[in-house]
Amino acid sequence: MKNIQSNIKKAKNYLDKSHCVAVPTETVYGLAGNAYSDTAVKKIFNLKRRPANNPLIVHYYNLKKISEDCEINDNFIKLYKKFSPGPITYILKLKKNSKISKFVTNNKKTVAIRFPKHPLFRKLLKNLKYPVAAPSANISSRLSAVKAADVKDEFGNKIKFILNGGVCKIGVESTILNITNKPRLLRYGGLSVSKIKKTLNQKIIININSKDKISPGLFPLHYSPGLPLRMNAKKNKKNEAFVLLKKRENISKDIYYLSKTRNLNEAARNLYSVLRKIKKDKYKSIAVEKIPNEGIGKTINDRLKRASNFK
Ligand code: AMP
Ligand code: MG
């Protein structure tokens, strides 16, 4: 407990001075900085080598502070009550007098906001006087980090501090929903679209490949282990790693599995770690068996599809 307090204090001290620190969330690790500080936000973009036109998600402790920064509406309240804190990001209209750095939104009139659930990150947010901009803690277009060691792999000693909160429970990024108008899904994620639909009782427009570049995180190549990857494979070729949904008895050395029992939530949680391990084991290509396209399986398939654009 004492350790937790002192780590949170350390993270707060760095953030107060506009430095970046890595933070655990229930989805993936984030690379955090003061969302009101241009200096901090620019550091995030530099460290990640992220294109300036790819806006960041801003993280809040609760509802209290957001009304200073963005316009809330009925759909937001319905979803917030049901799913926040949790793996859903809302796109809302930015208020003119908001203090959010213009680098966060790339001068857009909208902002992405989320209320993360991880208890350590929540404790930290509660202690801060500003919200925190935090994209995933990985170099742009690569795999997200789901434990402190992954963050270290990505950035080495370039970041000041990692608030270690263990392994992320969900393991894939948040679901992004634009609710400035009719609800539009911009990214599949940790919360299934069917649950959102049920709560809003409205049609959700699926807009995940929008060509208007409103959400550049949706660029075709993303979430890549840096190796060619093919989906829906029946078997693997020589020297190709083979990823299965469910563990088999006689496992050969080339076989990796995402879950013990065909559980899609477990598979999502293990996805990035398995792909990282394959890369570390020096394979040159990856085959993945067919993953059912239901619930969080849709998110897994979305990530695999984007990773498969690596040539
Ligand atoms: P990451 O933080 O790495 O999970 O990526 C954040 C995602 O949120 C990216 O896909 C961004 O393009 C998206 N995003 C952030 N702000 C906005 C916004 N105002 N409108 C649309 N998408 C956004
Ligand atoms: Mg990311």
Please write the tens of the pLDDT for every residue from 17-37.
999 999 999 999 999 999 999
- The Å distance, Cα 53 to ligand 1 centre, comes to 10
- pLDDT category at 272 given cuts 50, 70, 90 is very high
Q: Average pLDDT, stretch 156-161?
A: 95
Domain ranges of the chain: 2-206, 229-307
Classify strands 70-71 and 57-59 as parallel, antiparallel or unpaired: unpaired
Nearest CA to ligand 1 atom 22: 215
- Give the residue, out of 175, 186, 219, 222, with the most ligand 1 atoms within 8 A of its beta carbon, to mutate for a pocket test: 186
Report the 10 Å Cβ neighbour count for 214.
Answer: 15
Q: Which ligand is nearest to the CA of 175?
A: 1
pLDDT at 252: 83
- The Å distance, Cα 172 to ligand 1 centre, comes to 14
Give the model confidence (pLDDT) of 98-127 as tens digits.
Answer: 999 999 999 999 999 999 999 999 999 999
d(CA 274, CA 81): 34
pLDDT at 51: 92
Predicted confidence (pLDDT) at residue 276 exceeds the cutoff of 80:
yes
Prediction pTM value: 0.96
Predicted confidence (pLDDT) at residue 213 exceeds the cutoff of 60:
no
Nearest CA to ligand 1 atom 13: 215
Nearest CA to ligand 1 atom 21: 215
Nearest CA to ligand 1 atom 9: 217
- pLDDT category at 75 given cuts 50, 70, 90 is very high
- pLDDT category at 214 given cuts 50, 70, 90 is low
- The Å distance, Cα 56 to ligand 1 centre, comes to 5
Pocket of ligand 1 (CB under 6 A): 54-57, 91, 105, 108, 110-112, 135-136, 173, 176, 186-187, 214-218
Q: Average pLDDT, stretch 181-192?
A: 97
CB contact set of 120 (below 8 Å; sequence gap of 6+) = 4, 7, 8, 23, 24, 163, 165
- The Å distance, Cα 112 to ligand 1 centre, comes to 6
CB burial string 44-75: b at 16+ within 10 A, e below: bbebbebeeebbbbbbbbeeeebeebbebeeb
Concatenating the DSSP letter of every residue in 180-248 gives SSS-EEEE--SS-HHHHHHHHTS--EE-TT-TT-S-GGGSSS-SB-SS-EESS-SS--TT-EEEEEE--
Closest ligand 1 atom to Cα of 215: 12
Nearest CA to ligand 1 atom 7: 217
Identify which has the larger pLDDT, 1 or 263.
Answer: 263
Under 8 Å between Cβ of 243 and 258: yes
Predicted confidence (pLDDT) at residue 251 exceeds the cutoff of 80:
no
CA distances from 283 to 213, 222, 227, 301 (A): 33, 19, 8, 21
Under 8 Å between Cβ of 114 and 76: no
Provide the CATH topology of domain 2-206: DHBP synthase (3.90.870)
- pLDDT category at 210 given cuts 50, 70, 90 is low
Q: Average pLDDT, stretch 287-308?
A: 97
Q: Average pLDDT, stretch 204-222?
A: 72
Predicted confidence (pLDDT) at residue 158 exceeds the cutoff of 90:
yes
Q: Which ligand is nearest to the CA of 216?
A: 1
Q: 């970041």: which residue's tokens?
A: 159
Q: 């009139």: which residue's tokens?
A: 109
- The Å distance, Cα 272 to ligand 2 centre, comes to 12
Predicted confidence (pLDDT) at residue 216 exceeds the cutoff of 80:
no
Average pLDDT, rounded, for the chain:
95
pLDDT at 248: 85
CA 148 from centroid of its chain's CA atoms: 15
Predicted confidence (pLDDT) at residue 212 exceeds the cutoff of 60:
no
Nearest CA to ligand 1 atom 2: 135
Residue 63 DSSP SS3: helix
Closest ligand 1 atom to Cα of 89: 8
Sign of CA dihedral 12, 16, 17, 18: positive
- pLDDT category at 65 given cuts 50, 70, 90 is confident
